[in-house]
Amino acid sequence: MKETVYPNVFLAIDNCFASKRWTQPKEWMSLIKDLGINYIEASADTEADPLYCGPEYMAEWTEEVVKAEKINGVKVVNLYSGHGTYSTLGLGHTHRAVQKRMLNEWIKPMIDAAGRIQAGLGFYCHAFPQSVLQDKEAYLSAEKNLYSSLCEAGRYAASKMVKPVCIEQMYTPHQIPWTIKGAQKMLKELYRINESEFYVTLDTGHQTGQKKYLKPSCESITELLYRKSPDDAASDNVWLGPDFLHKRFKSFANAHENDFKNKWLSLENELAEYSHLFSGSEDSDTCAWIESLGCYSPIIHLQQVTGSSSSHLPFTAENNSIGLIKADKVLRALLQSYNNPVSPGMPERCRSIYLTLEIFSGTAETPGEIFSKIRRSAEYWRRYIPEDGAALGEILKAIE
């Protein structure tokens, strides 16, 4: 039996906390060095977005990054998209010209920048509108177009020697991949089409939406219909997926309970044709994601969560006492992903993984408040990853 090769693990931080505060590379690198962190993910939100800043600035920015790295003894290992590309349909736009603009004027310039500083790239810049989600044929076409654009980006990245290239996982149907099976499908399809070694970025807070989109059961719908008034607000919030089933919902109340149960089989057949609109219970579980896909996630974004939203909370003692994310559980789930059997059709497993703090700063927070919570988050994770580059197996031996 072939011996399992575990990855080398590094603690990194996204510089998004510095957005609109410490905007020059020499500034945010110095702050991060003071945290005891040597590896950085540079966010486009911290004045490095090619659509906002333009090619001349981006060329100067990469030169400043290289200079500041040498001065501070740190390394920008990955570039990442921010709120700018997240706020648009981008590669999933219904207009082909907008899709091409996102590919040619954002992704490719970011790949160029990553190549100049010898970094990887991660991004999220696509979404599907409701009109596409509700049309089976339109959805399949949009998914195919998205894969085609991503493969073109992958080929361009390979030509510039940029690796890894990552797509971030999300948590609602209009932003794929949002389920474990969907993420596996995407990676396999991209690899099948032209062996583009795309990877996925997992985020410890991106499991908060899936529970709203569970596929309904006959029992759950019966409970809603016959134990509550069909005019109850709950009936407006139930997720049935396709719009036509939502429209039928209240008419079901006029049928006898047994009649409705008899009709459920045909309804299930219709729902099966819209599987892209539904999640499973495992999709709300952070550790399940990491156990399934951690070995294909060279970047794992770290945020503390309480289960209600993806708020990018810091790992302070107060938050950790009520938070769901525990460092030891994350590391054990990651180990399990490498102990799982190799899945055919997937890219090569990651040899290096950057556990990357992604803590947002509030508009009204003072610089002191921001840096304090960032420092405490770094101190929490450094307890578990005292030395960068150590093998995952050795890290877990040390904490057990």
Q: DSSP letter string over 191-220?
A: HHHH---EEEEEETTTTSSGGGGBPP-HHH
- The H-assigned helical ranges of 253-391 are 257-272, 286-293, 317-322, 327-339, 367-382
Strand partners, 199: 166
Q: What is the pLDDT of residues 260-288, one digit of tens each?
A: 777 777 778 888 889 999 999 999 999 99
| Cα-based distances in Å from 51 to 78, 97, 103, 122, 275 | 19, 15, 11, 16, 35
Strand partners, 80: 43, 122
**Residue 257: which pLDDT band, with cuts at 50, 70 and 90?**
low
**pLDDT attached to residue 227:** 64
Cβ neighbours of 4 (radius 10 Å): 14
Per-residue pLDDT at 376 exceeds 90: yes
**Residue 197: which pLDDT band, with cuts at 50, 70 and 90?**
confident
Q: Give the torsion sign (CA, 55, 56, 60, 61).
A: negative
Per-residue pLDDT at 167 exceeds 90: yes
Three-state SS across 158-196?
Answer: HHCCCCCEEEECCCECCECCCCHHHHHHHHHHHHHHHCC
CA 204 – CA 210 distance, rounded (Å):
13
CA 255 – CA 287 distance, rounded (Å):
42
**pLDDT attached to residue 253:** 61
Q: What is the pLDDT of residues 339-368, one digit of tens each?
A: 999 999 999 999 999 999 999 999 999 999
Per-residue pLDDT at 254 exceeds 70: no
**pLDDT attached to residue 224:** 73
**pLDDT attached to residue 398:** 92
Pick from 309, 304, 310, 300: nearest CA to 322: 304
**Residue 320: which pLDDT band, with cuts at 50, 70 and 90?**
very high
Per-residue pLDDT, averaged over 318-327, amounts to: 97
Preceding peptide of 230 cis, ω within 30°: no
Residue type, 334: L
Per-residue pLDDT at 234 exceeds 80: no
Residue-wise over 141-165: b if at least 16 C-beta within 10 A, else e? ebbebbbbbbbbbbebbbeeebbbb
Per-residue pLDDT, averaged over 233-248, amounts to: 74
Per-residue pLDDT at 394 exceeds 60: yes
Per-residue pLDDT at 246 exceeds 90: no
**Residue 248: which pLDDT band, with cuts at 50, 70 and 90?**
confident
**pLDDT attached to residue 236:** 60
**Residue 324: which pLDDT band, with cuts at 50, 70 and 90?**
very high
**pLDDT attached to residue 395:** 97
CA 34 – CA 13 distance, rounded (Å):
12
CA 395 – CA 8 distance, rounded (Å):
9
Cβ neighbours of 257 (radius 10 Å): 12
Per-residue pLDDT, averaged over 114-134, amounts to: 97
**pLDDT attached to residue 15:** 98
| Cα-based distances in Å from 254 to 141, 216, 221 | 38, 19, 14
CATH superfamily of 8-209+282-399: Divalent-metal-dependent TIM barrel enzymes (3.20.20.150)
Q: What is the pLDDT of residues 80-101, one digit of tens each?
A: 999 999 999 999 999 999 999 9
**Residue 250: which pLDDT band, with cuts at 50, 70 and 90?**
low
Using the structure block, give the residue that is written with the tokens 């904490």: 399
Per-residue pLDDT at 229 exceeds 60: no
CA 322 – CA 270 distance, rounded (Å):
41
Per-residue pLDDT at 228 exceeds 60: no
Pick from 121, 30, 129: nearest CA to 82: 121
**Cβ 268 vs Cβ 275: under 8 Å:** no
**Residue 316: which pLDDT band, with cuts at 50, 70 and 90?**
very high
CA 229 – CA 252 distance, rounded (Å):
12
**pLDDT attached to residue 151:** 95
pTM: 0.95
Per-residue pLDDT, averaged over 314-321, amounts to: 97
Percent of the chain with pLDDT over 90: 82
Domain boundaries, the chain: 8-209+282-399, 215-275
247 or 154, greater pLDDT: 154
